[in-house]
């Protein structure tokens, strides 16, 4: 199956996203053939809504839904809205690069359920520098997770999906696993066609996010043996040492030690009482 042109819906979760939202919208309108843009906004208090309304006055194809639910709820609502054969999940801090539309069209086959594009990270925090440094020597960490920050999805592959509302984190992995279990491929092209500005907020919020990620890992993947955890920790430390040496930045090693220890803390303190902690609240 090959297409010369395909009109798509675009889905964007927003919450106080004014810092990079205009770059995101400009690139979407420049690079894609759009039917509608569906926004699910978590009652933003910055200029997010003003930016969206300004663009809607020009293009008249933006629909804004407001909800205080987490990302699992937000993505479920957005999926229910789309009407095109393929739609795009994109984060409000992601900017598309010229060429993504042609590449997307070239990859569509009957067995393709999603095309999840890797992104150029902005390198503004140590973890991103860690990932970028490893990528330079051919070590990739993002090829198996079901990230949805810039992902085209075939609508019929998720028509009946029910994302558990308690999936305050790893809801993207749930979508990825669902599509694969239904016999469709989740493609991850090697070439990057988007920039992720990835505004994590201050260091305290970022470290809180590591604790929450550990709790989510326990909740959604089940128990992991201590032996496997130790093996994984040692592997990360080896990579962190390599990245620190190559980049001449010793902060990478110390950051990765702290991040993993906080992840372990979150993992071992995961309880029903914190299951509804929302990843968005911690990130912002």
Per-residue model confidence as pLDDT tens digits over 226-274: 888 899 899 989 999 999 999 999 999 998 998 899 989 888 888 756 6
The model's confidence at residue 284, banded by pLDDT at 50, 70 and 90, is very low
Contacts of 21 (CB under 8 A, 6+ apart): 14, 48, 51, 52, 92, 93
Q: Where are the domains of the chain?
A: 8-196, 203-283
Beta bridge partners of 115: 152, 187
Cβ atoms of 14 and 39 closer than 8 Å: yes
* CA 30/CA 176 separation, integer angstroms: 27
**pTM (two decimals):** 0.81
**DSSP character at residue 201:** -
22 or 275: which carries more pLDDT confidence?
22
**DSSP character at residue 273:** G
Nearest of 37, 13, 40 to residue 26 by alpha carbon = 37
- What's the mean pLDDT in 160-183? 90
* CA 23/CA 32 separation, integer angstroms: 14
**pLDDT score for 280:** 43
Residue positions counted in the chain: 284
Long-range contacts of range 75-80, CB-CB < 8 Å, 24 or more positions apart? 75/11, 75/13, 75/148, 75/163, 75/171, 75/172, 75/175, 76/161, 76/162, 76/163, 77/40, 78/11, 78/13, 78/38, 78/40, 79/11, 79/155, 79/158, 79/159, 79/161
- What's the mean pLDDT in 31-39? 97
Per-residue model confidence as pLDDT tens digits over 125-160: 777 778 778 877 777 655 555 688 899 999 999 999
275 φ, ψ (degrees, to nearest 5): -65, -25
* CA 86/CA 105 separation, integer angstroms: 11
Q: Judge whether residue 212 has pLDDT over 60.
A: yes
**pLDDT score for 140:** 65
* CA 114/CA 133 separation, integer angstroms: 27
Fold classification of 8-196 (topology level)? Spore Coat Polysaccharide Biosynthesis Protein SpsA; Chain A (3.90.550)
Residue 59 has a CB neighbour count (10 Å cut-off) of 12
């Amino acid at each position: 199956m090959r297409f010369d042109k395909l009109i798509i819906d675009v889905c964007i979760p927003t919450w106080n996203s004014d810092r990079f939202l205009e770059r995101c919208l400009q690139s979407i309108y420049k690079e894609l053939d759009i039917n509608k843009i569906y926004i699910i906004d978590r009652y933003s208090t910055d200029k997010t809504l003003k930016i969206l309304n300004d663009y809607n006055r020009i293009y008249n194809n933006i629909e804004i839904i407001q909800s205080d639910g987490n990302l699992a709820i937000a993505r479920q609502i957005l999926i229910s809205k789309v009407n095109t054969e393929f739609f795009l999940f994109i984060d409000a801090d992601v900017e598309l690069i010229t060429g993504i539309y042609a590449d997307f069209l070239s990859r569509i086959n009957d067995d393709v359920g999603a095309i999840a594009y890797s992104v150029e990270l902005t390198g503004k925090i140590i973890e991103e520098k860690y990932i970028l440094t490893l990528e330079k020597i051919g070590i990739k960490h993002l090829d198996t997770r079901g990230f949805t920050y810039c992902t085209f999805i075939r609508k019929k592959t998720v028509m009946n999906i029910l994302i558990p509302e308690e999936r305050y984190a790893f809801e993207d992995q749930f979508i990825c696993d669902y599509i694969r279990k239904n016999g469709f491929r989740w493609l991850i092209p090697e070439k990057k066609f988007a920039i992720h500005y990835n505004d994590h907020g201050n260091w305290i919020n970022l470290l809180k996010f590591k604790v929450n990620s550990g709790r989510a890992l326990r909740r959604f993947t089940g128990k992991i043996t201590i032996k496997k955890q130790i093996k994984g920790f040692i592997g990360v430390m080896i990579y962190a040492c390599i990245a620190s040496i190559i980049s001449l930045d010793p902060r990478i090693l110390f950051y990765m030690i702290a991040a993993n220890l906080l992840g372990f803390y979150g993992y071992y303190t995961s309880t029903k009482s914190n299951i509804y902690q929302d990843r968005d609240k911690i990130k912002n």
